[in-house]
Chains A and B, each alone.
Chain A
Amino acid sequence: MSLRNTLASATALSLVMGAGAFAEEITVATVNNADMIVMQELAPQWEEATGNTINWVVLEENVLRQRTTQDISTNGGSFDIMFIGAYETPIWGANGWLEPLNDFADDESYDLDDIFQLVRNGLSDTDGNLYAVPLYSETSFTYYRTDVFDEKGIAVPEGQPTYEEFKEMAAAAHDPDNGIYGTCQRGKAGWGENMAFVGTMANAFGARWFDMEWQPQLDSQEWNNAITYYVDLMQNYGPPGSSSNGHNENRALFKDGKCATWVDATSAATDVKNPDTSSVADVTDFFKAPQQVTDKGTGWFWSWALAIPASSQKKDVAKDFLKWATSKEYFELVGETKGWVAVPSGTRQSVEEDPRRLEAAPFAATIVDAILSVDPADPTAEPVPYTGVQFVAIPEFQGIGNYVGQQVAAALAGQQSVEEALANSQQFAVREMTKAGYIK
């Protein structure tokens, strides 16, 4: 131990002597999404300007979520900054695990009010304390291939189609012999994967996770209609292997020109419409995510945001980086170096109204409209005791969502019937809610 201490202090000493007196080293846990990788590429500019250094821990989404939750809930202090989502932020904030960022409002050059109110609300607790600042926000909408629709004579819907109409489009476009599948949707199990799409689809079919007494509703006719439709759609008009395709797999397939339609995150549009990274940039357009019996909760709401754990020892430096990474200047920097089409979307009003942005990405306005039309507080046809469109903002939801996701994936893979999947899901949800004390 004493050897180790000597070594440690020697290292610390050399660090202090090597860099400026106030230079700090911070550890950032991030997910391997395109926008975060761009941030990692640009971060050396911040490092040079401040003299601080960043240790990046780049993890895949599920691993990231497990590692950060484990660390923050045990007060481990391994990370100074974490990328977290709209689901975790209010829950963790309310637990006192995150450093409040209310003082960002005092910084005039940062201009907190420029960040969309809806997004800030999603990253605050019920008392209005802000716990994270967004890099990008998203809802879901439908990507479609204009060339395929033209060729097959499919009419592009005006406004919001129904899922029944959507199925007809997928059927007409489906042409596997020529490498085009009618539709690509998420099938990989996970509350943030298949259940994000399935959740919004269930909302459209009039389903809800819980009634006002927190009784799970997964055995309802509405859920049955939704999942039956989903399995039928994917088995007939989806690509092979769809039960293991998540967002990233489908994005790759769509960009590769293998899908005619795809209902997924608006944030992927900057990538899909970027000719440098996509083979279908010129032949992709969008319409709203379909509705069915209701148009409530048919597009989800999500935001990837930066937060500082309360256990961090370097909060000031971390705050400085947070401000830089979500500032107007940062978005400007991305626009200048990576092109204005690649700027993260749905965060700042000034960015979305910037003429350079509108010229490079004429679709950006559609996306902002779509995001701002989401209401996480009123996501379903029938009243619910929770907020969240594609998730339920309670800690127990991760477990339930993952389990239901697995059951739906098993139904999609043909390993069990829709009825079995939903019966198992209902049983599991009742167990979990009983265990957690919601159901007395």
Chain B
Amino acid sequence: MSTKASRSAARLMISPAVILLLMWMIVPLVMTVYFSFLRYNLLSPGATPWAGWDNYYWFFTDPSFKDAIWNTLALVGGILLITVIGGIGFALLLDKPMFGTGVIRIMVIAPFFVMPTVSALVWKNMFFNPVNGIFGNIATSLGFQPIDFFAEIPLLSIIFIVSWMWLPFATLILLTALQSLDQEQLEAAEMDGANWGNRFWFIMLPHLARAITVVILIQTIFLLSVFAEILVTTNGGPGTATTNLTYLIYVSSLLQFDVGMGSAGGVIAIILANIVAIFLMRMIGKNLDA
């Protein structure tokens, strides 16, 4: 259907978005790349001499760097696992007939509306605090030693908090997909004697595949840069137990104000993010005919 005229019109119409995003991407990127080759610390004003690859050397040899990569992967992977499996469970459950569907659905998706800062503060103080928090209170009243969450299982605690916020999102998308499933197909399978497990595995799960892909793609984009939750709760510690790549860059560029090294970290993070993007694109390519 596309004529030559409509094709050029199309190019014209897509251009504002593309140009703006290009600028948004390229201007800071060029500056970041440039800064990453300078000896540039905001705390020591004066000349910013050329530093060559020094900043990259310092960033790569940072003792926290390896931990940060590992923590980033563990965070993203752990949260994806919890939210996808939990989301499928919730979606299956909410898809069933029940009383008060609306109210229950509202309660399940509510955490998605909560600001990351607020949710981290609330979990940290009202729940995880071993002296005044609810979990500590329950443990003490049952005669157990309360768990000191951010000292004993710091990364798991962060995964838990972030999962609480993203589980509703996964549920929403998976529920939408599930509701579009042809009921007659399911009933026909049931008549043929397929048990629930078989129906789930051979009919529902394939139907959900695209939705799961979408959940993974969108969440990965957001989870790669989890930051507020770490800043508010653990400040990346104890030690480097909860330092992810984003937080490590924050430490260099905004706590030590070493813009040069922070920029080198930024460039590295962008490269890694693009590797993930390519990987995701391959995966999406199979599942999404975009």
**Contact indicator A243/B41 (Cβ below 8 Å):** no
Q: How far is the CB of A243 from chain B (nearest CB, A)?
A: 4
**Contact indicator B58/A74 (Cβ below 8 Å):** no
B145, B148, B154, B239, most chain A CB atoms within 10 A = B239
Bound-complex Cα distance A74 to B253 (A): 13
Interface residues of B in 63-98 (CB under 8 A from A): 63
Partner of A395, one of B43, B148, B152, B254: B43
Instruction: Point out the residues of chain B lying under 8 angstroms from A414, CB to CB.
Output: 151-152
Give me 17 A-to-B residue pairs in the complex whose CB atoms sit less than 8 angstroms apart, sorted by A's number. Answer: A62-B235, A73-B42, A73-B43, A73-B45, A91-B43, A97-B45, A190-B235, A241-B130, A241-B136, A243-B148, A244-B151, A395-B257, A399-B251, A406-B236, A406-B237, A413-B148, A431-B61
Instruction: Point out the residues of chain A lying under 8 angstroms from B44, CB to CB.
Output: 395, 436
Instruction: Point out the residues of chain B lying under 8 angstroms from A435, CB to CB.
Output: 54, 58
**Given A189-B237, A241-B148, A406-B238: A70 touches B130 (CB 8 Å cut-off):** no
Q: Which residue of B lies closest to A428 (CB)?
A: B63
**Given A73-B45, A409-B239, A413-B151: A241 touches B129 (CB 8 Å cut-off):** yes
Contact flags (1/0) for A111-139 with B, using CB distance below 8 Å? 00000000000000000000000000000
Instruction: Point out the residues of chain B lying under 8 angstroms from A253, CB to CB.
Output: 131
**Contact indicator A243/B238 (Cβ below 8 Å):** yes
A240, A398, A427, most chain B CB atoms within 10 A = A240
Majority SS at the chain A contact face: helix
**Contact indicator B238/A189 (Cβ below 8 Å):** yes
Instruction: Point out the residues of chain A lying under 8 angstroms from B229, CB to CB.
Output: none
Instruction: Point out the residues of chain A lying under 8 angstroms from B130, CB to CB.
Output: 239-241
Bound-complex Cα distance A239 to B133 (A): 14
Q: Which 8 A-B pairs have the closest CB atoms?
A: A410-B239, A399-B256, A413-B151, A395-B43, A73-B42, A410-B238, A241-B130, A240-B130
Instruction: Point out the residues of chain B lying under 8 angstroms from A399, CB to CB.
Output: 251, 255-256, 258
Instruction: Point out the residues of chain B lying under 8 angstroms from A436, CB to CB.
Output: 41, 44
Q: How far is the CB of B50 from chain A (nearest CB, A)?
A: 15
Whether B111 is near chain A, meaning CB under 8 Å from some CB there, is no
**Contact indicator A402/B255 (Cβ below 8 Å):** yes
Whether B150 is near chain A, meaning CB under 8 Å from some CB there, is yes
Q: How far is the CB of B57 from chain A (nearest CB, A)?
A: 10
Q: How far is the CB of B144 from chain A (nearest CB, A)?
A: 11
**Given A244-B151, A253-B131, A410-B239: A395 touches B136 (CB 8 Å cut-off):** no
**Contact indicator A70/B241 (Cβ below 8 Å):** no
Q: Which residue of A lies closest to B233 (CB)?
A: A244
Bound-complex Cα distance A300 to B52 (A): 41
Bound-complex Cα distance A70 to B62 (A): 23
Binding site for B on A (CB under 8 A): 62, 66, 69-70, 73-74, 91, 95-97, 188-190, 239-241, 243-244, 253, 258, 395-396, 398-399, 402, 406-407, 409-410, 412-416, 421, 424, 427-428, 431, 435-436
**Given A69-B42, A395-B44: A241 touches B238 (CB 8 Å cut-off):** no
Q: How far is the CB of A403 from chain B (nearest CB, A)?
A: 8
Known: A73-B257, A243-B148. 4 other contacts (CB 8 A): A398-B255, A398-B256, A399-B255, A410-B239
B45, B58, B129, B238, most chain A CB atoms within 10 A = B238
A244, A399, A435, most chain B CB atoms within 10 A = A244
Contact flags (1/0) for B111-148 with A, using CB distance below 8 Å? 00000000000000000011100001000000001101
**Contact indicator A395/B239 (Cβ below 8 Å):** no
Contact flags (1/0) for B151-163 with A, using CB distance below 8 Å? 1101000000000
Whether B234 is near chain A, meaning CB under 8 Å from some CB there, is yes
**Contact indicator B136/A240 (Cβ below 8 Å):** yes
**Contact indicator A243/B131 (Cβ below 8 Å):** no
**Contact indicator A424/B151 (Cβ below 8 Å):** no
Partner of B234, one of A95, A244, A258: A244
Contact flags (1/0) for B225-247 with A, using CB distance below 8 Å? 00000000011111111000000
Instruction: Point out the residues of chain A lying under 8 angstroms from B235, CB to CB.
Output: 62, 188-190, 406
**Contact indicator B238/A70 (Cβ below 8 Å):** no
**Given A189-B235, A399-B258: A406 touches B43 (CB 8 Å cut-off):** no
**Contact indicator B256/A406 (Cβ below 8 Å):** no
Q: How far is the CB of A232 from chain B (nearest CB, A)?
A: 16
Q: Which residue of B lies closest to A405 (CB)?
A: B237
Q: Which residue of B lies closest to A435 (CB)?
A: B58
Q: How far is the CB of B10 from chain A (nearest CB, A)?
A: 28
**Contact indicator A407/B234 (Cβ below 8 Å):** no
Bound-complex Cα distance A189 to B240 (A): 11
Partner of A424, one of B43, B63, B131, B257: B63
**Contact indicator A427/B63 (Cβ below 8 Å):** yes
Instruction: Point out the residues of chain A lying under 8 angstroms from B148, CB to CB.
Output: 240-241, 243-244, 413
Instruction: Point out the residues of chain A lying under 8 angstroms from B154, CB to CB.
Output: 413
**Contact indicator A241/B131 (Cβ below 8 Å):** yes
Bound-complex Cα distance A52 to B145 (A): 55
**Contact indicator A239/B131 (Cβ below 8 Å):** yes
Bound-complex Cα distance A431 to B241 (A): 21
Bound-complex Cα distance A91 to B257 (A): 14
**Given A69-B257, A241-B130: A413 touches B152 (CB 8 Å cut-off):** yes
Q: Which residue of A lies closest to B150 (CB)?
A: A244
Instruction: Point out the residues of chain B lying under 8 angstroms from A396, CB to CB.
Output: 43, 256
**Contact indicator B43/A66 (Cβ below 8 Å):** no
Q: Which residue of A lies closest to B254 (CB)?
A: A66
**Contact indicator A395/B41 (Cβ below 8 Å):** yes
Instruction: Point out the residues of chain A lying under 8 angstroms from B240, CB to CB.
Output: 406, 410
Instruction: Point out the residues of chain B lying under 8 angstroms from A189, CB to CB.
Output: 235, 237-238
Bound-complex Cα distance A304 to B145 (A): 38
A70, A412, A415, most chain B CB atoms within 10 A = A415
Q: How far is the CB of A189 from chain B (nearest CB, A)?
A: 5
Q: Which residue of B lies closest to A181 (CB)?
A: B131
Bound-complex Cα distance A399 to B42 (A): 13
Q: How far is the CB of B255 from chain A (nearest CB, A)?
A: 6
A239, A396, A413, A421, most chain B CB atoms within 10 A = A413
Bound-complex Cα distance A416 to B63 (A): 15
Q: How far is the CB of B63 from chain A (nearest CB, A)?
A: 6
**Contact indicator A70/B254 (Cβ below 8 Å):** yes
**Contact indicator B237/A258 (Cβ below 8 Å):** no
Q: Which residue of B lies closest to A189 (CB)?
A: B237
**Contact indicator A258/B239 (Cβ below 8 Å):** no
**Contact indicator A431/B239 (Cβ below 8 Å):** no
Bound-complex Cα distance A96 to B61 (A): 33
**Contact indicator B237/A409 (Cβ below 8 Å):** yes
Instruction: Point out the residues of chain A lying under 8 angstroms from B150, CB to CB.
Output: 241, 243-244
